[in-house]
Amino acid sequence: MTTEETRARIKQQAAEMRAEIEAREQRRRAAEATPPAYLSHSEGKFRVIAQGMPLCADKATAAEATAAATAQRVKLAPVYWDGDSAEWKPIEGVTAS
């Protein structure tokens, strides 16, 4: 291998490593952005989402959905997804009402 070929190979390896690190960072950010288990609310109904899947059927109240999570020993995140406004909100506001 010539010096230029060696430099080109090193640059290629560095670019591959940067791409791998960036992909890992994106996966980490996505995992942190969405909690593993959370309460979801939209159109007047509540549900528990655990690992991206509904844990229970839609419930009329947050208390019913929270009880379903408790029965399955699922710890809910301190925020809930408000599907009507498409944003995360503190869970205290919805469970108090």
User: What is residue 31's predicted lDDT score, i.e. its pLDDT?
Assistant: 60
3-state secondary structure of 2: coil
Average pLDDT, the chain: 90
**pTM of the predicted model as reported, rounded to 2 decimal places:** 0.64
Q: What DSSP character marks residue 55?
A: S
| Structure-token match 């960036």, residue found | 22
Domain ranges of the chain: 1-33, 37-96
User: What is residue 96's predicted lDDT score, i.e. its pLDDT?
Assistant: 54
